Structure 1
């Protein structure tokens, strides 16, 4: 489960980076169907648009939202306008003479690669998305230029007072509620849904034997390292802290019903059979103002920066020459 989650996060990062901005100005002789817009002479290609749209749809599907035809049409329009605005911000950064250090670009590339389980996984993901190292690094460069521009033009000039921070904290108590948390370890014997009854019976037998070892006093962490088929086995089965809604329902219900130090009976989920040990519990609480002040101040500053940048780009947009070629399919 953890490996899958890391891969999805890494993939989402690639998708986001792939959609930062168009790679280069397309030749004006190319037909309009190869591009969805031209901003002051620089093209936003259909490929850029499709990647950004795919990322937006991935985010929405992750929330369980299914788009109807009208919502999809609106999403496409929103995506196009976001790409146009990013292109305008990049153009503004270049007018200000902002340069990006190649070493910083290379470091971002290494960081991205390290988010994948292996070099092969990383290469395969780029191939599936029709992206090259040169293309991704080009987009890193554009993104970093825009970030530096926003920093110099807005972030460095905007402040948030202690009074503003405290007022927000006092006016939004629900935001600072920390839900009940459980820290748990587990031992998983996975079950292939296509394996049939015999494979399921075999997995149940294995987890039953492990449970018997626990009942005889053997160490949970050691057994998890030896037998668990989850990547968390490397940490003795430790999954860290989690709240309700983060795990599949049967797992969640069993974990939150246990007291600290207790081990569950065998729990079945779509992943297979689990034995769960709760190692700590934290009741619902309110995060103190002292603990959240610095992060809250940064959040409020970012909101101000976003607002100022949005107002700025709208003014630039009004003066820009923008041609849109996106046609809704019938």
Structure 2
């Protein structure tokens, strides 16, 4: 049995990791840390009452690292930057998956611009593998000690655009519009997630300036032949709690539209957590699951790729668990092939 620890167990990322671990046949969460909560986990996460016997503890990452095989970091960016270094320094053979943005950008200047602070250990970001297995990272993740889990908008945008970019179909700037649920704003309520404001509203936020845009561009550029066309990201706040829908507009040469569609199908033919549909995807079909639904529409010289996923599932904790599977030598979908709740 793989022994796993979670640093930061009170947020939605840690909560979802713990929930997913309950259905995993070969991974057990043996420690869950928190700086604010004490006592039984079920008191903070009522839906896990009677299913989880753990209690929150206050061990540091360097104390926890030598006691587990895999360590998930579900903390804010700044805390994760220090925690990964501390844990790996204490246990060099440890496998660490960081759900924050602390290690997604190897360039220190890009990191500081995106997240607003200088990374205290930029060498760790240079060592980290960007962990989106469907987009060329499977073998790299399997050999990694530190994986930077992608952001939710980035995951959807990359699932939409990566096949077309890496097969050389895209001829000009791409635009991605994505809408996410309020859980994407985290467990602590704010103006952006306050129910009276959010529940009947739909609005863009951080248009063309979102912190996930640089990691999308970096992933597309990795291994691509030639210059990658520009990509513009416009995220939206949607009136739902969990789920994300992204629509990518990718120009292609007239006459190559069907070949581009075929490329999307071929890319995900053997991806166990991605379903390619012949109709537009819907968030309700993936909410509560670790699956991503992809669909493609075409017009003269334009390919539109649509992606629906759960922002806490395939957009966060599900991919983190997928990465842990690969790092531990398991099939990537182990414990993750469970449908959503439906309507």
- Relative to total residues, which structure has the larger helix share, 1 or 2? 1
Same fold (TM over 0.5): no
Higher Cα Rg, which structure: 1
TM-score band w.r.t. shorter chain: under 0.3
Structure with larger RCO (C-alpha < 8 A, sep 6+): 1
Q: TM-score, normalised by structure 2?
A: 0.21
Higher strand share: 2
Normalising by structure 1, we get a TM-score of: 0.22
